[in-house]
Amino acid sequence: MADRISVMIPESVVDAKIKELGEQISKDYAGKQVHLICILKGGVFFACELAKRITVPVSLDFMQVSSYENATKSSGIVRIKKDLDDTIEDEEVLIVEDIIDSGKTLHYLIPVLQQRNPASIRLCALLNKPSRREVEVKIDYLGFDIPDEFVIGYGLDYAQQYRNLPFIGTIRPDTTGGGIVTEEVEGDSVEQE
Element (H, E) at 131: none
Amino acid, res. 118: P
User: Cα dist. 145→1, 106, 123, 157 in Å?
Assistant: 31, 17, 15, 18
Q: Could you give the angle at which helices 11-28 and 43-52 cross, rounded to 10 degrees?
A: 60
CB 168 within 8 A of CB 14: yes
Residue 43 phi/psi, 5-degree rounding, is: -75, -10
Q: Which of 101, 140, 145, 174 is catalytic?
A: 101
3 in catalytic set: no
CA distance 151 to 191: 15
CA distance 13 to 19: 10
- List residues with catalytic annotation: 101
